[in-house]
Structure 1
Amino acid sequence: MLRHLKGLGFECREEVGRQLVREQRAIGGAALPDKDCAAFRDLLFDRSIDAFDQEPVRAGVPVFYDRSFLEALAYSEIIGVPVPKRMVVAAMQRRFAPLVFVCAPWREIFECDAERHHDFDFACRDYAANVSVYRAYGYTLVEVPQMCVEDRVQFVIQQIEKAGGC
């Protein structure tokens, strides 16, 4: 979806977690979901915050993020570690647009790849934890229907237009 949105001229940001996995593997680092989950979560949160802070906010211009620092908080629940207060404070100080688009795991298109090795059951737990955190932080979630990419993108654009933009 993000590639398609970017092709239409929208601002899109790559998932920080995938970047981290590539970097950690390249340097032989341990901050990986399959090695040191808490270190991965910490690095994911900090780098996601940095990415958010570096982006200039332009009124009315939507920016689509493939995941965010809030998902690092949700990951804490999955791995069973408490969320440090500094993360809660940092997340509360930063806001995305009120509408957050979520895509539920879809078995027919689910696949593992070089950066993501978890199974479909983990994807479902991850989705539920993320939905919970986004709601707890006051976002309005819009579930994107499971249909072809072009139709999903059109749905997202229509929802933004209905909401009056960002």
Structure 2
Amino acid sequence: MNTKRIVITGGPSTGKTAVIEALRQKGYHCLEEVIRAMTLAKKAEENDLVFETNPIVSVSDPMAFNQMILDARIAQFESSLKSQEEFVFFDRGIPDVLAYMDCFNQTYDLSFREASNTNRYDFIFLMPPWKEIHVVDNERFESFEESLRVHACLEHSYTSLGYDVQSVPKDTILNRVDFILDSVKKTK
């Protein structure tokens, strides 16, 4: 079977996780965002750690943290190569690492870009910033203004890698899911 690998990405509080959960409830194979567990682990490990913005700029060793994220996303991608599912959905993809590092003015070596070029997805869906649903909580630290910057960096990261990025309309969760499924099924 030719499994389609589909990334759902966007800045914080854009509805990605809700859409991924709705896809999972419909029986689709979905891979979770890897940074959530890593962020909680880092908070526990670095007791005095205070997140005022994205974790990649708050941890004591941002490069090591970004490398962990990259490695986890590569592992997710590689796990999808063994899938017998028609579709595998990713809550963020490998190029998200580049986008966030660019957004927060962090440097990275060529291996980060090579990982994005080597491990290619079939569809990229970008969730736009949405002020009405934006929240800051234990897992989302960015302000709405930072969310706008992240969105621009995500779009640039994927398009610079040659992807056709499709914007997901602001709508109900189920309508957003239908939009994504209709888009990927049209190209079967």
TM-score in same-fold range (> 0.5)? yes
For 1:138 and 1:22, the matched residues in 2 are separated by: 33
Structure 1 equivalent of residue 157 of structure 2: 133
In the TM superposition, 1:154-165 aligns within 5 A as 154-164=178-188
Secondary structure of the equivalent of 2:63?
A: helix
Aligned residue identity for 1:26 = A
Name the structure 2 match of 1:14.
Answer: 32
In 2, the alpha carbon distance for the partners of 1:52 and 1:113 equals 28
* Alpha-carbon offset, residue 28 of structure 1: 2.4
The one of 31, 51, 67 equivalent to 1:42 is 67
Please give the residue correspondences for 1:55-94 in structure 2 after superposition, counting only pairs within 5 Å: 55-58=80-83, 61-94=86-119
The code of the aligned residue for 2:40 comes to R
Distance apart, 1:39 and its partner CA: 3.4
Report Cα offsets for 1:56-110 as digits up to 9, x if no partner.
344771111111221111112112122311111222111111x211101100111
CA contact (8 A) 1:135 1:141 kept: yes
Identity over the aligned pairs, expressed in percent?
Answer: 26
Higher relative contact order, chain-length normalized (CA < 8 Å, sep 6+): 2
Relative to structure 1, the CA distance from residue 78 to residue 38 in structure 2 (aligned partners, 3 Å threshold; closer, same or farther) is farther
Candidates 122, 141, 166, aligned match of 1:117: 141
SS in 2 for 1:138: coil
Query: 59-68 or 86-95, which moves further after superposition?
Result: 59-68
Does the 8 Å contact 1:104/1:127 carry over to 2? yes
Residue pair 2:31, 2:90 contacting (<8 A) in 1 also = yes
Q: What is the alpha-carbon distance in structure 1 between the residues aligned to residue 154 and residue 134 of structure 2?
A: 18
One-letter amino acid of the structure 1 residue matched with residue 160 of structure 2: A
CA RMSD of aligned residues (A): 2.0
- 8 Å CA contact 1:74–1:133 kept in 2: the answer is yes
Structure 1: gaps spanning 5 or more residues:
none
State the alpha-carbon separation in 2 of the partners of residues 59 and 160 from structure 1. Answer: 17
Question: Does the C-alpha gap of structure 1 residues 38 and 79 become closer, same or farther in structure 2, counting only changes over 3 Å?
Answer: farther
Question: What is the TM-score with the length of structure 2 in the denominator?
Answer: 0.79
Q: Show the counterpart of 2:22.
A: 4
8 Å Cα contact 1:41-1:75 kept in structure 2: no
CA positional deviation for 1:27: 2.3
Aligned residues: 163
Alpha-carbon distance in structure 2 between the residues aligned to 1:120 and 1:106: 8
Structure 2 counterpart of 1:44, one-letter code: I
